[in-house]
Copies of this chain bind each other. A is one copy, B any other.
Amino acid sequence: MHLAIAEAKKGSGFVQINPLVGAVLESNGKVLAKGYHSRFGGPHAEAIALKKAVKKYSKQEIARANLYVTLEPCTRRGKTLPCLPSIKQSGIKNIFIGTLDPNPGEQGRSIRALRRIGCSVKVGIEQEECDYLIRTFRKWITTKKPFLLGKVGMSLDGKVTHPDEKRYITNTLARDRVHKLRQEFDAIMLGVNTVIRDDPELTTRLPGKRVSHPMKIILDSRLRVPSKSKALDYNTIVVCLEGVTMKRKRSVANTGATILELPPEEKRGKQLFEQMNMQVLMKELGRRKISSVVLEGGSYVFTTFINRQAIDEFYIFTAPQLFGATSLPFTYALQYTVSLQNMKVELIPASKGAEVGTADDADNLLVRGYAKYN
């Protein structure tokens, strides 16, 4: 199953809004074939593994093999043929499944069908990891809203700006990791203040040929975004409040960006930004088949989304520094406290030979986990 999970990850960034799936066909400890779902609408992992196996092994050899697949096989025709019939035809008797189909209408259907024809089907192998692979798909398929990952780069004392404003907080490898996250997700979302202050490109900067750039979503209630901002292009949605002037809208629309006007929230907060109706935004993004969003802050944005219990998971990159109260905090006052469930911690090493005193000179931590609101 570990091999199947590793296979699944190869599709990362290219299968949205489908789930990541990997499959391995094994016999007496030998891997006959592997497969993964590699692009939206492309063939499924199990189908690929079986097709590869057929070329090299006899029908009898395949029938004796064990099939490991990270997600319950599909039973219905979508963009491709369903996987269930091909598994049935293969004659394979032993099937190990990571986790069930999160789609309530489909859940357990293929398990029951396989057991009916006499297969031994074990479900829940390395389930935590297999569930993690499909966390964004699960959210979208069950709620029709995108999975929201809050990505923060901060100091040990929870500050998101360096006292010397121009300096990085986290190290190069941590920032590379953020680019990997962006590639894996459908969209990046951030507040207009960050766009005005930093004028970021918000692209995925990764080595290799196969790179997917996420959609960019800018939260900008009054449509203050400068029309020359690097982030504005055909791949950008600028979200604002209803009632912005036509002139501002035209100037932003001329960059190719889409303008999404939201109704105000019924309860008015102090921040203008907070007046946009976030529930409507989430539904609208889901409707546009955006199944996963990396939320990249600042303080107001995080405070707002936490207070609406809207963030599903946090990725907190931490530099071993204390900045004190003059730097901007991760959040302002919260209506809920947040616990990180299934917390995982990774050390993200400093760069070799980095200049002493720079962000690259220090190991960073990545602390991640699902958000639970208390």
Q: Enumerate chain A interface residues (CB-CB to B < 8 A).
A: 154-159, 163, 303, 306, 314, 316, 320-326, 329-334, 337-340, 343, 345, 347, 357, 362-363, 365, 367, 369, 374
Contacts and interface: CB of A to CB of B under 8 A. Distances in A.
A155 B316 CA distance: 13
A325 B327 CA distance: 13
A334 B339 contact: no
A155 to B, nearest CB: 8
Contact of A362 (B337, B343, B362, B363): B343
22 contacts: A156-B158, A156-B340, A156-B367, A158-B158, A163-B337, A303-B324, A306-B322, A320-B339, A321-B337, A321-B338, A322-B331, A323-B334, A324-B332, A324-B333, A325-B332, A326-B333, A326-B334, A339-B362, A340-B362, A343-B363, A357-B374, A365-B365
A318 to B, nearest CB: 8
A339 B337 CA distance: 28
Nearest to A311: B322
B322 A330 contact: yes
Contacts of A163: 337
Given A321-B338, A326-B333, 18 more contacts: A154-B157, A157-B329, A158-B159, A158-B329, A306-B322, A320-B369, A321-B337, A321-B340, A322-B330, A322-B334, A324-B337, A325-B329, A325-B332, A325-B334, A340-B362, A345-B345, A357-B374, A365-B367
Nearest to A338: B322
Contact of A345 (B154, B324, B365, B374): B365
Of the listed residues A323, A324, A331, the one surrounded by the most CB atoms of chain B closer than 10 A to its CB is: A324
A324 B334 contact: yes
Contacts of A322: 306, 314, 330-331, 334, 337-338
